[in-house]
Structure 1
Amino acid sequence: MESQQVLTIARDGLLTLLIVCGPIVLVVLAVGLVVSIFQAATQIHEATLSFVPKLLAAFATLGLAGPWMLSTLVDYIRGVLLSIPSVVG
């Protein structure tokens, strides 16, 4: 097993992680920014007001982008499992 193969698999794993988690993180970040601006403008500082919209946005994004995320993860895992013989042998 060569270290270059292991590093390639690890790099691809981290890249896949960023690609899959990116949409959820960006949507939650945008919703959090909008809610924070709303709270600052209205001077309402309720903790649940910032938490609930972000949670709903995360679930909505997961519902909309879930199939794409799952297929991306399955493609990565399939590639890792198919590369086992070349890494071991």
Structure 2
Amino acid sequence: MSPEVFVEILKEALAMVILLVSAIILPSLFVGLIVAVFQAATSINEQTMSFLPRLIVTLLALSWGGHWLVQKLMDFTFNMVERIPEVLG
């Protein structure tokens, strides 16, 4: 296996990880930011007020985007399996 093939596979794998994780984390990040601004404006420092909305949004993102996430992961896996001859030879 040449170093170029290894670097290309690593680059594709890291891009896939970033894409899948950001699809789950970014909605939670935005909701957390909105709740934090609301808490700062009202001086309410309740921990569950920041945790529960982020948990709900994360679960909704997983349920709504789960099919897409699994499909992207399966496409990547099939692509890697098809590239086995390139890596070996």
Q: Which residue of 2 is the match for residue 22 of structure 1?
A: 22
Root mean square deviation of aligned Cα: 0.9
Q: Which residue of 1 is the match for residue 6 of structure 2?
A: 6
Shift in Å, 1:83? 0.8
Alignment of 1:71-82 (within 5 A): 71-82=71-82
TM-score if structure 1 supplies the norm length?
Answer: 0.93
State which drifts further: 21-30 or 67-76.
21-30
Q: Which runs of 4+ in 1 moved over 2 A?
A: none
Shift in Å, 1:35? 0.6
CA distance in 1, matches of 2:47, 2:81: 44
Shift in Å, 1:87? 0.4
Once the two structures are aligned, what percentage of the paired residues are identical? 35
Unaligned runs of 5+ in 1: none
Unaligned runs of 5+ in 2: none
CA distance in 2, matches of 1:88, 1:9: 13
TM-score if structure 2 supplies the norm length?
Answer: 0.93
CA distance in 2, matches of 1:18, 1:72: 12
CA distance in 2, matches of 1:85, 1:19: 26
Summarize deviations over 1:6-48 as a string: whole Å, max 9, x none: 1111000011111112222210110001110111111111112
CA distance in 1, matches of 2:44, 2:79: 49
CA distance in 2, matches of 1:52, 1:84: 44
